[in-house]
Amino acid sequence: MRQVLQLRLPRYLIQEVNMKLISEFVENDIEFLITEDKNTGKKNYGIQGIFAQAETKNRNGRIYPMPIMEKALGKYNTDQVSKGRAVGELNHPEGPTVNLDKVSHKINELKFEGNNVVGKASILNTPMGEVVKGLLDGGVTFGVSTRGMGSLSQRNNAMVVNDDYILNAVDIVQDPSAPSAFVNGIMEGVEWVWNNGIIEAQTIEKMETEIKKAPRADLYETQVREFKNFLSLMKSK
């Protein structure tokens, strides 16, 4: 009879780490490039600029220590960029996984310049990539947002990203503050979003309840989901 050896680790060797989805937005230092091939007349679209920063407290009150960012960036470059797998989506997804049907661009380069992570990306000929191109042609501006998984530690007046941080993707986002503005609006009063009865008060109250009861780790994802529901309701009216 075949025997299976079971190894039971002592409790002191087992650590439970609560990792959360962490997104950071960069807007001011991003440049969208549109060039045209003289022979074919085909337009090529790209992005370049600062995609992330280390050792600096960002707008979300978080700090990425240089050694941790270097480790995460090194792994992302080795596993994704160097193998042509580094792609991102248009707008924030609801989790860490890249959805291939929503991919809009490919990251071609990520490197450090001082404390800044400078990147270059090309817009792809995918459905979401074509949306980005059309919006850029119309004068719409975007920013980029890193998306990763990790745990946080409170230090002084900032949340510091821990050594378990993993960089999953860099996405293109148009208005990352919109979900927060939406949440603030429904928390402060129904009138901000009700707008002469376009959406019934009980619908807004339900959205508010969903946000209030969301676990802390899922709060941002819940805000984004309810904001999308709100936009869908607005379009249907």
Domain spans of the chain, in order of start:
20-174, 179-236
- Band (189; pLDDT cuts 50, 70, 90): very low
The pLDDT of residue 108 is 97
- Strand 103-113 relative to strand 30-36: parallel, antiparallel, unpaired? unpaired
pLDDT higher at 215 or 10: 215
Return the closest-CA partner of residue 71 out of 144, 145, 158, 161: 161
- pLDDT score of 181: 46
Annotated catalytic residues are 92, 145
Q: Is the pLDDT of residue 16 over 50?
A: no
Nearest to 62 by CA among 21, 91, 111: 21
C-beta atoms surrounding 109 within 10 Å: 13
Encoded tokens for 148: 């990763």
Average pLDDT, stretch 6-14?
43
CA distance linking residue 33 with residue 36, whole number of Å? 10
The span from the CA of 132 to the CA of 114, in Å, is: 30
Calculate the dihedral angle through the C-alpha atoms of 126, 131, 137, 141, rounding to the nearest 10 degrees.
-120
